[in-house]
Amino acid sequence: MTRLPFLACLLLALISCESKEKRLAQFLLKGNLALREANTEQALYYYTQATELDPCYVDAWNNLGTVHYRAGRFSEALFSYEKAVACDSSFLPAVINRANTYYELNELYLALADVQRTKRAKPDTAIAFFTEGLVKTKMRDFAGAMAAFDRALALDSLNAEVWVNRATVAYYQKDFARARADLRKAEQLNPNEANIYNARALIEAEAENYAEAIRLVEKALRLKPDAYFVNNRGFFHLQLGDLDKAERDINESIMADPANGWAYRNKGIFYLTKKQYADAERLLRQAYDRDTFIDKIDYYLGVAYFHQDKRAEACASFSRALQSGTPVENVYLESCKR
């Protein structure tokens, strides 16, 4: 007599367990379908329901992080990926996703730690080497970035995105022949990859072919609207002296992505061109605060300081510019010798 309730409870528990697993699978499937259809609110709802039903459902936490990541909500993405890793430290998709999120949050050493963790667990993971290349590029470790992208290509030579990023490193190293060759390979693999044409535009700008640079970046924009592309077009207009178009593009870029230090640099150059040196200093300082590695930022800051008779600040900026390999005109250098 006493065994009947026990058996009934056991059967009930099995049914409940089966029902829970089925509901979790349904939430995940519905969330994935919503995400595929770009219905982010529905995806968030289903993944959240799954995590509430099972607080350690790592697939749901990982996918929830991806929804936030794609929307640019990197702090929320990091929270979700950390939940997944805390529940299962061997769940590599969340580890590498967390690395990419750290990259976006400029926590570069934490990103590298997750890359190394992924490589130790699975040494032949192309995405780990690709992410390492991105992080080391941002750290201005161009030799390390090139080595990482080389390894990624050895594992996955058909990935156009890797070719584009290796070309970008070559561009930073002023190896334009190699950059062009890598971009040709990327275009063969995926002619609709917008970053190819943006990178080609930057190379043309180095040769002061600004009209061609504008043509190429506009091709990139037709393929993918992007605040960085718009900012680059603004810079090209600036170099051609078309200040109205330059200002419009740069302002649009800042509105779309207020964290982009390059856009603040270009707005600073715009004010230098108009001889509004205090405004130039303000914008260039904002750029510097966001990213000290922005190209020629110390030079432009030095010019802004120089024209406001801030000699000490100007000379310090010009010194940093020379250390980074940026040329400085003699008129500025001579003033620092007095």
So what's the pLDDT on residue 4?
39
pLDDT surpassing 50 at residue 15: no
- The domain containing residue 70 runs over which residues? 18-107
So what's the pLDDT on residue 18?
59
Dihedral over alpha carbons 228, 229, 235, 238 (to 10 degrees): -130
Within a domain: 215 = no
Within a domain: 130 = no
Token pair for 115: 């890359």
Q: How does pLDDT run across 213-261, given as a tens digit for each residue?
A: 999 999 999 999 999 999 999 999 999 999 999 999 999 999 999 989 9
Within a domain: 198 = no
So what's the pLDDT on residue 16?
52
Token pair for 215: 């043509």
Within a domain: 155 = no
Within a domain: 38 = yes
Within a domain: 35 = yes
- What CATH code is carried by the domain that includes residue 28? 1.25.40.10
Number of structural domains (the chain) is 1
Within a domain: 31 = yes
Spatial neighbors of 189 by CB under 8 A, at least 6 apart, are: 158, 159, 160, 163
Q: How does pLDDT run across 290-319, given as a tens digit for each residue?
A: 887 888 999 999 999 999 999 999 999 999
So what's the pLDDT on residue 162?
97
**Is residue 4 classed exposed, middle or buried when 0-12, 13-18 and 19+ CB atoms within 10 A define those classes?**
exposed
Within a domain: 39 = yes
